[in-house]
């Protein structure tokens, strides 16, 4: 037993050492000690990290990039779309050769670069941007070079791996205040398998679902004075079983949505 324990302990030590070495091979950049950093680091300040689905046709991705170490020759920006955990191919989008610089790219152009239109982008999708910097000494750096302690901290404004979230548009063609009715059905009769409908009222989100049976109804009271109502759907398992309708305070019934409902109702 003792030999077995020592063997397992040895394996754990080797595993930890291997992970530590892999991370050490990257550049664990400390952006608060830039003088001692040789890596060509680029920061980006994105004006809006969320864009509404209905605004994609007219909205523009805008940002400012800078190289606080003053050692970057160029920075290349690429983009992909992630929908339901599946990503498109990554394509080149822009190159910046002077810092600081402002970037302004319409989302219609981003979609075109990907070979799609903004109509193909849905609420709940992520627009993922990847950056590659080339230092004045020729050093090439991507998010794969940096440790996760850098690319995983948005407060460092790293320009190597970041996203813009596509959000469902706010309701604009119905009376917002009043009682909304959600009628849910499960075609197999065993609840919604983890899926849910979200009512986001002035930024406060509440999820509605049911876990057993073939149907459920919810009355959602939206108070007077509400300025923004966003209704969205989040998928679960067995999406081919999920169907629902939404009735507005005006009495209009929207849907049915599903089977396999889309993330947004508008």
Model pLDDT, residue 242: 98
Answer whether residue 121 is part of any domain.
yes
Query: What's the mean pLDDT when you consider all of the chain?
Result: 87
Could you read off the pLDDT of 23-43 as tens digits, one per residue?
Answer: 445 555 555 555 555 678 999
- pLDDT surpassing 70 at residue 245: yes
- Give the CA count within 13 Å in the CB-facing half-sphere of 56: 26
Domain boundary residue, one of 119, 139, 167:
167
User: Which among 71, 73, 67, 76 has a CA at the least distance from the CA of 95?
Assistant: 76
Domain tally for the chain?
A: 2
- pLDDT surpassing 80 at residue 160: yes
Q: Are 191 and 238 in contact (CB under 8 A)?
A: no
Model pLDDT, residue 194: 95
Question: What are φ and ψ of residue 74, in 5° steps?
Answer: -155, 160
Domain boundary residue, one of 167, 196, 228:
167
Q: Is 249 helix (H, G, I), strand (E, B) or coil?
A: coil
Question: What are φ and ψ of residue 219, in 5° steps?
Answer: -100, 125
Q: Are residues 154 and 30 in the same domain?
A: yes
Q: Residue 59's domain spans which residues?
A: 11-167
230 CB-near residues (< 8 Å, 6+ apart): 167, 168, 169, 170, 171, 198, 199, 200
- pLDDT surpassing 60 at residue 6: no
Q: Which residues in the chain belong to E strands, given as ranges?
A: 43-46, 50-52, 60-66, 72-83, 86-87, 91-96, 101-106, 126-135, 140-141, 161-167, 178-186, 196-201, 204-208, 215-222, 229-234, 242-247, 253-257
User: Which among 83, 76, 85, 87 has a CA at the least distance from the CA of 130?
Assistant: 76
CATH assignment of the domain containing 84: 2.60.40.10
Q: Are residues 65 and 134 in the same domain?
A: yes
Answer whether residue 263 is part of any domain.
no
pTM for this model (two decimals): 0.74
Domain boundary residue, one of 167, 202, 230:
167
- % of the chain exceeding 70 in pLDDT: 86
Answer whether residue 17 is part of any domain.
yes
Answer whether residue 18 is part of any domain.
yes
């Amino acid at each position: 037993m003792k030999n077995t324990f020592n063997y397992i302990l040895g394996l754990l030590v080797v595993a930890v050492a291997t992970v530590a070495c892999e991370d050490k091979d990257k550049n664990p950049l400390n952006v608060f000690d830039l003088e001692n950093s040789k890596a060509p680091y680029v920061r980006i300040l994105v004006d809006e990290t969320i864009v509404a689905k209905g605004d994609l046709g007219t909205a523009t991705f805008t940002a400012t990039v800078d190289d606080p170490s003053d050692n970057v020759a160029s920075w290349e920006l690429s983009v992909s779309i992630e929908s339901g955990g599946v990503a498109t191919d990554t394509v080149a989008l822009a190159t910046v050769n002077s810092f600081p610089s402002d970037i302004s790219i319409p989302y219609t152009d981003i979609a075109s670069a990907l070979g799609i239109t903004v109509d193909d982008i849905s609420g709940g999708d992520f627009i993922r941007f990847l950056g590659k910097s080339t230092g004045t000494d020729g050093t090439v750096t991507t998010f794969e070079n940096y440790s996760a302690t850098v690319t995983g901290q948005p407060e460092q404004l790293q320009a190597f791996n970041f996203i813009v979230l596509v959000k469902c548009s706010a309701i604009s063609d119905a009376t917002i205040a009043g009682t909304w009715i959600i009628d849910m059905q499960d075609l197999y009769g065993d609840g919604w398998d983890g899926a849910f409908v979200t009512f986001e009222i002035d930024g406060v989100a509440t999820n509605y679902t049911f876990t057993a049976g073939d149907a459920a109804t919810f009355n959602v009271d939206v108070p007077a004075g509400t300025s923004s109502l966003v209704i969205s759907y989040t998928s679960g398992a067995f999406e081919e079983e999920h169907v629902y309708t939404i009735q507005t305070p005006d009495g209009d019934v929207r849907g049915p949505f599903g089977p396999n409902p889309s993330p947004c109702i508008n």
